[in-house]
Amino acid sequence: MNTIVKKINEDNFTDTDLCEAAKILREGGLVAFPTETVYGLGANGLDEKASKKIYEAKGRPSDNPLILHIADVDSLYEIASEVPESAKRLADEFWPGPLTMILKKNNKVPYSTTGGLESVAIRMPEHKIALALIKESGLYIAAPSANTSGKPSPTKAEHVIKDLNGKVDMIIDGGKVGIGLESTIIDLTSKVPTILRPGYITEEMLNNVLGTVDTDKAILKENKDKNYKPKAPGMKYKHYAPKANLTIFEGNEATVIDEIIKRTMEKQTQGVKVGIIATDESKEKYQCGVVKTIGSRKNNKSIARGLYEILRDFDDLDVDVIYSESFLDNNLGQAIMNRLLKASGYDLINVR
């Protein structure tokens, strides 16, 4: 397959620029496109054959549901059998934006899109290109992240090209995304609204709108050694992983840095190439290893934006192991740590 790569400036484009991509989608093809979170791999979400192509291109397990992307709130009533008041309130507050709501599906939505479930995941992206593409195509676009399944999610078109060139019809290059972490997922089919995947929209923000929100225990760091089964099917699979083994160190900052330096020097004497995930504040303290900064501790948003890119950078550098500092586990920090922990296979060391 010859993959078309089309550059589009988010701040300077017309609907005509998206005509070819929209046509591909209507004809059952695959188009990767930018959203405010990560790049998505899109297909007609109501076309069973088109949805299956997403799984094939990514190597994605067929029981891992896809998210349907819509361009207006009224679309909820076209694809969900029930739209609770909680969904309306969340849509008013956070859409368009990085929040995915799980509702009961209706018969229009094929099981190939929902991973065999009776529920459907829905969100309205904030990115101008994504919204315009949905409108131009006239479809509900099913779109997981546009990467090979299990690898770090793509935050720029180069990542998509590396993973999916020759496997998809078109890649829209809209530049680097703004957030860098996938959307928050909240299940509104349960008795109490439950966060199944943390993201940019935090538990505190959701509580402010709904009053009471639970968080699936399986995504919490402290439950990593217990037999909790994730409620979101996709969360049971390996995600976001670099090629090298990743270990996270938690504790007092100075102690963590000393431990990472000690282990790095030991590995280097054995001929092992070590990558270190540092911050703007700590990078100068490391005089060994391949040091890259993920962002500033004063700005968790910068850390979120840098997470997947830094993991992919270490893939390109062919490091053998990666050591990372940990990050505060509150608000957006919970989403960052969730992704890091899954990328490491929950290899977390508490340094005392």
State the average pLDDT over residues 127-134. 98
Q: What band does 113 get if pLDDT is binned at 50, 70 and 90?
A: very high
Please tell me whether residue 185 adopts helix, strand or coil conformation.
strand
DSSP string, 193-229: -EEEE--SS-HHHHHHHHS--EE-GGGSGGGTTS-PP
Residues 6+ positions from 254 with CB-CB distance below 8 Å = none
Torsions phi, psi for 119 (to 5 deg): -115, 160
Q: What band does 239 get if pLDDT is binned at 50, 70 and 90?
A: confident
Which pair of tokens denotes residue 41?
Answer: 């791999």
Residue 224 has pLDDT above 70, yes or no: no
Measured N-to-C along each axis, helices 203-210 and 85-94 cross at an angle, to the nearest 10 degrees, of: 130
287, exposed or middle or buried, with CB in 10 Å at 0-12, 13-18, 19+?
exposed
Q: In this structure, are residues 238 and 340 in contact, taking their beta carbons and an 8 Å threshold?
A: no
Residue 223 has pLDDT above 80, yes or no: no
Q: What band does 220 get if pLDDT is binned at 50, 70 and 90?
A: low
Q: What is the pLDDT of residues 42-69, one digit of tens each?
A: 999 999 999 999 999 999 998 999 999 9
Q: What is the pLDDT of residues 151-174, one digit of tens each?
A: 999 999 999 999 999 999 999 999
Q: Which residue has the higher pLDDT, 100 or 225?
A: 100
Residue 221 has pLDDT above 80, yes or no: no
User: β-pairing, 245-250 with 348-350?
Assistant: parallel
Torsions phi, psi for 316 (to 5 deg): -65, -30
Q: What is the pLDDT of residues 274-289, one digit of tens each?
A: 999 999 999 999 999 9
Q: What band does 330 get if pLDDT is binned at 50, 70 and 90?
A: confident
Q: What is the pLDDT of residue 234?
A: 55
Q: At 92, which helix (H) or strand (E)?
A: helix 85-94
Q: What band does 219 get if pLDDT is binned at 50, 70 and 90?
A: confident
Q: What is the pLDDT of residue 95?
A: 98
User: Is-above-0.75 flag for pTM?
Assistant: yes
Q: What is the pLDDT of residue 331?
A: 81
123/184 Cα distance (integer angstroms): 10
Measured N-to-C along each axis, helices 157-164 and 300-316 cross at an angle, to the nearest 10 degrees, of: 40
71/78 Cα distance (integer angstroms): 12
Q: At 164, which helix (H) or strand (E)?
A: helix 157-164
Which pair of tokens denotes residue 13?
Answer: 């484009």
Q: In what order do the strands lie in the sheet with 321-325?
A: 290-293, 274-278, 321-325, 245-250, 348-350
Q: What band does 300 get if pLDDT is binned at 50, 70 and 90?
A: very high
Residue 206 has pLDDT above 90, yes or no: yes
